[in-house]
Amino acid sequence: MSDYSVFATPDFDPNEYANAILAGEPYPASTDLNPKTPAKSTFEASPKEDISVAISKLNFGVEDVSKQIKSVVNSHHEELLAQAASANALAGSLVSVRSGLTDLDASLDKLRLKIRVPYQSLQTNVSRLQKLQHASDVLRRTSRFVVLARRLKNQMAEMADNTDAESKPESSQVNLLGDTEDEKERTIAKAALSIAELVALLDGPVAPGSSVTEGRADETERVDSLDGANPSEVSGSRIPLRSIDAVAAHVPFVEDARTRVTSEMENMVVAGLGALNQSLLASSLQTAFNLRVLPELVQSLLSDLSQAVEDRIRSAFDLSKISRDASSKDPAPNSPSSPTSYKSRVRTEPTSFTAPQWASALWNRLEKMVDEMADCCIKVYTLEKVLKMKRDTISQVVFLDEAMKLLENKPSVTFWTSLGKSLEKHTRDSAKGSTFLQQTLSSGYPRLLRLFQRFFSKIAVHTDTAYTQTYQSPETILVLRALSNFESLYVSRSSNKLNETVAQAFSGGARSPPGVNEGVNIARTVANELDSARFDPLLVRTIAKNVGASLDMFLSRADSLISRDRSAITLMGPSATPQQASNASIASCLYNCWSRLEKLGEEHSENVVANIKPHIENIHQAYQRLADPLLIAIRRELGAIIARLHRIDFNKPADPMAGMSGASFYMKDLVDKLSFIKVEILSKYSIGDAGREWVNLIVKFVIRTFVLHVSIAKPLGESGKLQLTSDMTELEFALSAFLLETGPSKRGGSLESVGDDYRILRAMRPLLFLDNAQLVSSKHTAGLPPLIVLHHILVRSPVPLPHSLHGWQEAEYVRWVDEHSEEEAWTLIEGGLSHWEKVESEGQKSGGSAYVELARTVLSNAQARL
């Protein structure tokens, strides 16, 4: 098929092909549109080939094509016949379609005459109308511009006259934010309004959302609607008035007037803020509102005030300026060192000789910084107050809302945020770059804090900020948080001082445990640290937290030195064990520290007390855990000695030859044990009033226990009564000596201070010698509890005592009575009486009915007195 491919090309031309064959040239020719890339020939005649050969090939090809066509026709003759038949049928349809198309063309020509021609005419008229509207708009705006320009000239002339008349004294009543303003200020505001409208006419339509020339914009739209124009179309293709010669002549005057009014407005703003004159400031803001620059003005003022504060803060921490101030205040004294030897250091860090002068210069600069910060803060709040209260007289738009279109937050919030960031940045950088600043401001942090408290108190009159013991405004906390670097250093030093005091108290270890002096020193250090920070509610709260941590460490170290084995509570004698001496020293330390810290609750606020109160209570509880086992051991030991009186037979007859016998053996042991407890044990506890309370508790316990044991001593004869009386006398002497304090004061020693327990002991003597009938008389048993009288009645009678009836030991019964109420003891005795009456009724025992009657009489009298 490659021999016939040339005939299949789309560009095959039989005439050119024949000419090429006759001429012996290739076909297609190599000279195409692009001579650089010759086309490859599909058929190229050989030089030796003549035309007869080419014709024969062509004939052969024609015959071959004819055969193929014939073959195709034979194979598809049915389809071809069907198509030929349908073509004949379509001929009639095509005729009707052709007639329809002819009608359609006629209708289209008629519509073109009815629509297109009028439309073209209307389009021409609309174009003329738009040109007329543009011309009308230009004329209207030009007329308005000229009127406003003339009005502005009069206003500027009036403003010039008012400026000339300023030197004359005038008394004008100025309302804070009212409508009555000074004549000059009113004229400036009117001129600003005229300038704003003139600029709007010059530069384009009124900006969306602007309320300054809202009425003028409405008027413009109303005139446009009367002219039949779409206001949006007119405003979208307005001709600028600056291209009008009549208008261009007034443009320099308008620009000069705007510059002058803007300058007057800025002067009024500066004067109003400087003098905190809210009326003048309101007038200047009204002028800015009329000029449509109120948001930009407020933003610029905030930026300037914030920048002024930042510059002052930077200047306050500038070491070069501090050095210059220090050198100017203190001329070079006659120092042994050469002035040039420290010249390079003086510019960056002071020497030990110049440090006081540097510190003085630094604090002076900080005081000035705080004063300027207060002035700027008051100006910001005054500006915000005027913006919040001032409204435009025409549109009633609040100036603060207008200013917030450009501001992200209220002016006060923006100022506080800027102040906090600037203060934090420069304090952090100064602390990192200068050891002198870091040490001076961290050690003198209370003084720095007082400066800022003065700043808060100064601005509190003009702002809504507060910094008191009970409430701190978020703005004040934001500023103080910027000083957290110096606060953390000061708190760290305070914590180190507390920890050093605690460590010094335990420096002796277990061999020399802390005592009274160490406890007092710890409490004094805590009180001093809290007092130094007492003036600031936030600082004292932070110090209180550190105090709590230090007290916990003190308690932990003290707890590790406490001995809890048997040797710490044994009372065997003849002297106190080392463990008892160590525990006594630690208890004295804990008690004296707690007693002084407890008084801090009266000096500080509830928040501070709430932080340290749990830790102080922990110290007291630790002291009680240390003292309670010893007191229990003392009571147990003394009770065991007193219980030995039941080993003596108090019913044996008296020996007339023996004479007056001395105290019983148990009483001698009791006296010796009391002396040992006082001299060897209690004397090592320096706990003040708590020690005297211990002594009173021990004396009351001894008296109460002794009286109970004596009341149940059975059998009891006359010699036994005399022996008990002698023991009571010995006990009184021993207890009086026990109450007597050691030392030069010799305080105490009187059993009268014990109270009712001593009166019970004194009344016990005559009870032993009363008749049975006198036992029920309240006159003869005055001062004695009914339980003691009941015991004595049972001792005289055959009725068994409660402990005998229940099989208890005397010591167990006394302990039971001490742990239960007196009414419960009465019930126990009444149960014993009922048991005896039952036994007596059965005839097993007799002879005790009289004593039972006495006992019931005493019980009824006691119950009647309840």
- Of 37-41, 467-471, 635-639, the range with the highest mean pLDDT is 635-639
Task: Work out the percent of the chain whose per-residue pLDDT is above 90.
Answer: 29
8 Å CB contact between 489 and 442: yes
The predicted pLDDT at position 337 comes to 42
Q: What whole-number distance in Å separates Cα of residue 60 and Cα of residue 303?
A: 100
How far lies 349's CA from each of 340, 352, 715, in Å?
15, 10, 95
Phi and psi at residue 48, to the nearest 5° = -85, -15
**H/E run at residue 794:** helix 786-796
Report yes or no on 94 lying in a domain. no
Most trustworthy range by pLDDT among 25-29, 158-162, 294-298: 294-298
- Do 650 and 793 sit in the same domain of this protein? yes
Report H helices in 578-688. Answer: 578-597, 606-642, 665-676
Burial of 7 (0-12, 13-18, 19+ CB in 10 A): middle
174-178, 677-681, 705-709, range with the lowest pLDDT: 174-178
Residue 106 lies in a domain: no
Distances (CA, A) of 107 to 100, 114, 121, 634, 648: 11, 11, 21, 134, 154
Instruction: Confirm if 221 and 227 have CB atoms less than 8 A apart.
Output: no
| Banded model confidence at residue 163, pLDDT cuts 50, 70, 90 | low
In-domain check, residue 25: yes
User: Is 111 within a domain?
Assistant: no
pLDDT for res 847:
66
Last residue of a domain, one of 445, 465, 482: 482
Residue 340 located in a structural domain: no
Domain boundary (453, 482, 511) is at 482
Choose the weakest-confidence range: 72-81, 359-368, 543-552, 841-850: 841-850
When mean pLDDT is compared across 29-33, 252-256, 392-396, 555-559, the lowest value belongs to 29-33
Q: Which residue has the higher pLDDT, 326 or 4?
A: 326
CA distance 454 to 343: 36
CB atoms within 10 A of CB 317: 22
Residues 756 and 610 in one domain: no
Residue 114 is classified by DSSP as: I
Q: Would 85 be classed as within a structural domain?
A: no
pLDDT tens-digit map of 490-517:
999 999 999 999 999 999 888 899 999 9
Query: Per the domain annotation, does 791 fall within a domain?
Result: yes
Q: Is residue 477 domain-shared with residue 359, that is, in the same domain?
A: yes
What is the DSSP code (8-state) at residue 350? Answer: -
**Number of domains, the chain:** 5
543 lies in the same domain as 559: yes
Q: Are residues 495 and 402 in the same domain?
A: no
Taking only the tens place, the pLDDT of each residue in 307-331 is: 999 999 999 988 888 888 888 765 5
Number of Cβ within 10 Å of residue 449's Cβ equals 20
Q: Which position has the token pair 């207060």?
A: 374
Residue 605 to residues 468, 528, 529, 543, Cα–Cα distance (Å): 12, 16, 15, 13
**3-state DSSP assignment of residue 708:** helix
Band of pLDDT at residue 115, cut at 50, 70 and 90: confident
Structure tokens given for 829: 């005795």
- Burial of 762 from C-beta contacts in 10 A (0-12 / 13-18 / 19+): middle
Calpha distance 120→543 (Å, rounded): 92
Residue 671: what pLDDT? 93
Which pLDDT band, with edges at 50, 70 and 90, does 237 fall under?
Answer: low
Q: How confident is the model at residue 529 (pLDDT cuts 50, 70, 90)?
A: very high
Is the per-residue pLDDT at 756 higher than 70? yes
Confidence bin at 655 (pLDDT 50/70/90): low
Indicate if 410 and 504 belong to the same structural domain.
no
Q: What is the pLDDT of residues 241-256, one digit of tens each?
A: 777 777 777 788 888 8
Is the pLDDT at 23 greater than 60? The verdict is yes
Question: Roughly how many angstroms between the first and final C-alpha of the chain, as a whole number?
Answer: 143
Q: Which of 552, 550, 559 is nearest to 498 (CA)?
A: 550
Range name among 453-467, 645-659, 694-708 with the lowest pLDDT average? 645-659
What element of type H or E holds 54? helix 51-75
Pick from 716, 731, 804: nearest CA to 762: 731
Long-range contacts of 747-752 (CB under 8 A, 24+ apart): 748/692, 748/695, 751/699
pLDDT at position 211 over 70: no
Residue 184 sits in the same domain as residue 70: no
Q: Which token pair is 124?
A: 């021409």
User: How far apart are the C-alpha atoms of 499 and 549, rounded to whole Å?
Assistant: 9
**Domain end among 576, 602, 635:** 635
Are residues 422 and 315 located together in one domain of the fold?
Answer: yes
3-state secondary structure (DSSP) of residue 208:
coil
8 Å CB contact between 467 and 473: yes
pLDDT, residue 654, reads 61
Q: At residue 336, does pLDDT exceed 50? A: no
Mean pLDDT of the chain: 82
Tokens of residue 533, six digits: 């920070």
840 and 761, same structural domain? yes
Q: Please indicate, yes or no, if residue 117 is contained in any of the structural domains.
A: no
Residue 204: how many other CB atoms lie within 10 Å? 12
Confidence of residue 196 (pLDDT cuts 50, 70, 90): confident
Calpha distance 492→508 (Å, rounded): 25
In this structure, are 211 and 140 located in the same domain? Answer: yes
Three-state DSSP state, 293: coil
Instruction: Measure the CA–CA gap between 272 and 250, rounded to whole angstroms.
Output: 32
- pLDDT band with cut points at 50, 70 and 90 for residue 31: very low
C-alpha distances (whole Å) from 294 to each of 106, 287, 380, 568, 756 are: 69, 8, 15, 84, 88
pLDDT band at 187 (very low <50, low <70, confident <90, very high): confident
For the chain, percent helix, then strand, then coil, each to nearest 5? 75, 0, 25
Residue 724 has pLDDT above 50, yes or no: yes
Q: What local confidence, expressed as pLDDT, does residue 157 receive?
A: 78
**Does residue 618 share a domain with residue 506?**
yes
Assess contact for 228 and 129: CB atoms under 8 A.
Answer: yes
pLDDT digits (tens, 9 = 90+) for 805-816: 888 999 999 999
Do 311 and 277 fall within a single domain? no
Residues in the chain: 866
Peptide bond into 766 cis (omega under 30): no
- Cβ 371 vs Cβ 263: under 8 Å: no
The tokens for 487 are 């606060």
786 contacts: CB under 8 Å, gap ≥ 6: 822, 826, 858, 859, 861, 862
Residue 814 belongs to what domain range? 636-864
Which residues have CB under 8 Å from 452's CB, separation 6+?
A: 370, 479, 480, 483
